[in-house]
């Protein structure tokens, strides 16, 4: 056999061996498929919240999706993420609307891009189930929200106090908190507004009460209802607004919260107070607390009061009080009267330091009996832990909720209040631009380097080169 023939046979044999090895690798990878999401914020993967919900399913569910060829791959990718989290309990079908008119009619589907999430019928039949939720798109938030409604997960009622100038859950404007209500819905919370002037008691099944930036003071009867609710082991989230009446500071003092009549500001690099100084970054977290131990992004607060913890135990009525989030050590405090309504301010006199933005208090309580309708929740045991959280500035309004870590922090704080630590997680960040916050001095430095320094360097190099040639 000639050398050329041997070389040709070796080439052919090597080719077939390579193809055989390639086929084996493909077969193994097909049976043991593993994908990796390398996108920023893991936007192609399920959030911890959604994955946890799917893994906890007790009954099998099925998504019947109707999609066109253009969107089919994206719909299948999202639904496969859910199925991979729990293959035994999550099933799906992606159908062509035009090719399956009978199935579409059975589910009352009119347009492509719609579908239903249903409890899987016995035997996996194609007939619609009696328990189903409609899907108008196939985004993760929509599917997870439908799963919460369809599952046996208990919903929790949250009350939002009204009647004193509080921010409203029905208000879509920047200073409203309708966005917080929407963020809480996938967590199986039901939000309702409570006006104690029209409803002189709190619901007995209330999981927590939220008081969002009241302006007018409480009436004596309202104050008594709120105090009894807390003393019987209630849960309270209080946002102390820059314009909140000072009587609320006196009320909260009995639980260990000291709220000076001051506003935290962030001076620029040369120590001046500007319009941007009202924004305060909270990035010093209690690393051991369930709410903040996994918090990866800072929170942003506007016109925040310092919420100090009373250190004298004889003045806290047995409450354990400690800060949860504090500002950077580059902030200062200024009297509130010198901030509100002022267009220009003098440089602050105080020394820069870190100040608490959000502070917590807790205490084991034994509910007291009452012959009349009371504001206290129905405790599941003789002893119940009262939990309070007070934040000194705007954090969860519509204009701030989607900024950096505000949404995760706000929802997780409520999860902790109602003793649902298992729901605390970091949710997916929407695919959108991330703002870069720069102080005026930083902007000037960047402009100076790009428009002056770099061009001048190249100009000097050009002049030196020309002189050298001559």
Give the pLDDT score at 377. Answer: 47
Residue from 374, 384, 258 nearest 310 by CA = 258
* Apex 261 CA angle, 216 and 312, nearest 5: 110
Over residues 373-396, the pLDDT tens digits come to: 444 444 444 678 999 999 999 999
Per CATH, the homologous superfamily of domain 48-150 is: Glutaredoxin (3.40.30.10)
Exposure letters 197-210 (e unless 16+ CB within 10 A, then b): eeeeebeeebbbbb
CATH 3.40.50.880 residue ranges for the chain: 156-423
Contact 230, 386 (CB under 8 A): yes
Residue from 272, 258, 270, 339 nearest 302 by CA = 339
Contact 213, 219 (CB under 8 A): no
SS3 for 258?
strand
Q: How far is CA 161 from CA 89, 138, 252, 398, in A?
A: 40, 34, 16, 18
- Give CA–CA dist 348/352, Å, rounded: 9
Give the pLDDT score at 43. Answer: 65
What is the length of the chain?
Answer: 470
Exposure letters 113-125 (e unless 16+ CB within 10 A, then b): bbbbbbbeeeeee
- Give CA–CA dist 391/291, Å, rounded: 14
Over residues 109-124, the pLDDT tens digits come to: 988 999 999 988 766 6
CATH 3.40.30.10 residue ranges for the chain: 48-150
Give the pLDDT score at 82. Answer: 94
| Radius of gyration (C-alpha) of the chain in whole angstroms | 30
Residue stretches of the chain with pLDDT short of 70: 1, 30-43, 122-126, 152-154, 270, 343, 346, 367-382, 423-441
- 3-state SS, 407-432, equals HHHHHHHHHHHCCCHHHCCCCCCCCC
DSSP 353: B
Give the pLDDT score at 380. Answer: 45
- Give CA–CA dist 308/118, Å, rounded: 49
SS3 for 295?
coil
Residue from 302, 305, 306 nearest 281 by CA = 302
Pick the CATH number of 156-423 from 3.30.930.10, 3.30.980.10, 3.40.50.300, 3.40.50.880: 3.40.50.880
Contact 203, 159 (CB under 8 A): yes
- Give CA–CA dist 338/346, Å, rounded: 9
- Give CA–CA dist 69/430, Å, rounded: 25
SS3 helix, strand, coil % of the chain, rounded to 5?
A: 35, 20, 45
- Give CA–CA dist 324/309, Å, rounded: 10
Residue from 324, 429, 449, 438 nearest 387 by CA = 324
Tally Cβ neighbours within 10 Å of residue 1: 6
Residues paired with residue 235 on neighbouring β-strands, in sequence order:
387
Q: Residues 6 or more apart from 266 whose CB is under 8 A from it?
A: 276, 277, 279, 280, 281, 327, 328, 330, 331
């Amino acid at each position: 056999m000639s050398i050329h023939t041997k070389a040709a046979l070796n080439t052919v044999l090597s080719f077939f061996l390579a193809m055989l090895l390639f086929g084996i690798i493909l077969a193994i990878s097909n049976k043991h498929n593993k994908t990796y999401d390398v996108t920023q914020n893991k936007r192609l993967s399920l959030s911890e919240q959604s994955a946890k919900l799917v893994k906890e399913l007790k009954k099998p569910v099925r998504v019947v999706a109707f999609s066109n060829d253009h969107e089919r791959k994206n719909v299948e990718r999202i639904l496969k993420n859910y199925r991979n989290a729990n293959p035994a309990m999550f099933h799906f079908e992606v159908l062509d609307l035009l090719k399956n008119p009978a199935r579409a009619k059975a589910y009352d589907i009119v347009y492509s891009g719609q579908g239903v999430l249903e409890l899987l019928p016995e035997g996996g039949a194609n007939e619609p189930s009696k328990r189903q939720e409609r899907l108008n798109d196939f985004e993760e938030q929509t599917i997870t929200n439908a799963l919460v409604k369809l599952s046996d997960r208990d919903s929790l009622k949250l009350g939002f106090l009204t009647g004193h100038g509080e921010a409203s859950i029905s208000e879509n404007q920047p200073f409203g908190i309708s966005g917080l209500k929407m963020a809480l819905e996938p967590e199986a919370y039901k939000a309702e507004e409570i006006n104690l002037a029209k409803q002189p008691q709190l619901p007995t099944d209330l999981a927590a009460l939220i008081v969002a930036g009241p302006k007018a003071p409480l009436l004596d009867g309202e104050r008594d209802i709120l105090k009894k609710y807390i003393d019987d082991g209630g849960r309270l989230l209080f946002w102390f607004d820059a314009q909140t009446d000072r009587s609320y500071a006196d009320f909260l003092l009995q639980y260990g919260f000291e709220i000076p009549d001051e506003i935290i500001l962030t001076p620029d690099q040369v120590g001046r107070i500007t319009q941007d100084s009202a924004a305060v970054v909270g990035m010093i977290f209690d690393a051991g607390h369930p709410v903040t131990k996994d918090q990866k992004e800072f929170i942003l607060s506007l016109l925040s009061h310092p919420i100090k913890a009373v250190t004298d135990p004889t003045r806290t009525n047995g409450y354990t009080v400690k800060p949860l989030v504090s500002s950077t050590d580059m902030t200062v405090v200024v009297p509130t009267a010198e901030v509100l309504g002022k267009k220009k301010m003098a440089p602050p006199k105080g020394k820069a330091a870190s100040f608490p933005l959000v502070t917590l208090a807790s205490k084991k309580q034994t509910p007291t009996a009452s012959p009349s309708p009371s504001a206290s929740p129905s405790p599941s045991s003789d002893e119940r832990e009262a939990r309070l959280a007070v934040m000194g500035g705007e954090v969860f309004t519509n204009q701030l909720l989607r900024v950096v870590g505000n949404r995760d922090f706000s929802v997780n704080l409520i999860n902790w209040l109602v003793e649902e630590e298992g729901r605390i997680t970091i949710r997916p960040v929407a695919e959108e631009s991330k703002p870069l916050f720069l102080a005026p001095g930083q902007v000037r430095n960047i402009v100076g380097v790009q428009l002056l320094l770099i061009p001048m360097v190249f100009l000097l190099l050009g002049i030196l080169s020309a002189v050298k040639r001559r």
